[in-house]
A = this chain, B = another copy of it.
Amino acid sequence: MIISIDTASDTPIYQQVRDEIIKLIGTKELKSGDELPTVRGLAEDLGINPMTIQKTYNILKNEGFVEIDRRIGVKVAGLKNLKDDNFEENLKKILLEGKARGYSQEELISEVKNLDI
């Protein structure tokens, strides 16, 4: 599982790791039922504090993306619709920023279509 973080970024590391894992789910590189690395293992790989990964996994659980089983570990949750007002708000916000930056409707749509290539 390829996750890259940037310790010099101003987004918190736990957040970056969350985003990266969600991206992997979005691209289907991680599918329902797939197991995620252990907290300790991933922390070592990334050279960061295990507590940071712990926090990431808790967030992902609360958001419904993963399930945590003390015996098995962490695995990607079954597909349900995780539609969320807050998410739609954020999506709209960034799409409007795109408009403000001068992107046309067509350009934004092609960004969406490019995801499935």
Chain B, Cβ-Cβ closest to A82: B101
Question: A22, A91, A101: which has the most chain B beta carbons within 10 Å?
Answer: A101
Q: How many copies does the complex hold?
A: 4
Distance between Cα atoms of A67 and B6 in the complex (Å): 11
A93 interfacial by beta-carbon distance below 8 Å: yes
| Given A7-B70, A25-B100: A95 touches B83 (CB 8 Å cut-off) | no
Cβ proximity bits A82-114 to B, threshold 8 Å, 1 near / 0 not: 111001101111111111111101001101110
B112 touches A108 (CB 8 A): yes
A91 touches B94 (CB 8 A): yes
Identify which of residues 22-47 in chain A touch chain B, using a CB-to-CB cut-off of 8 Å: 22-23, 25-27
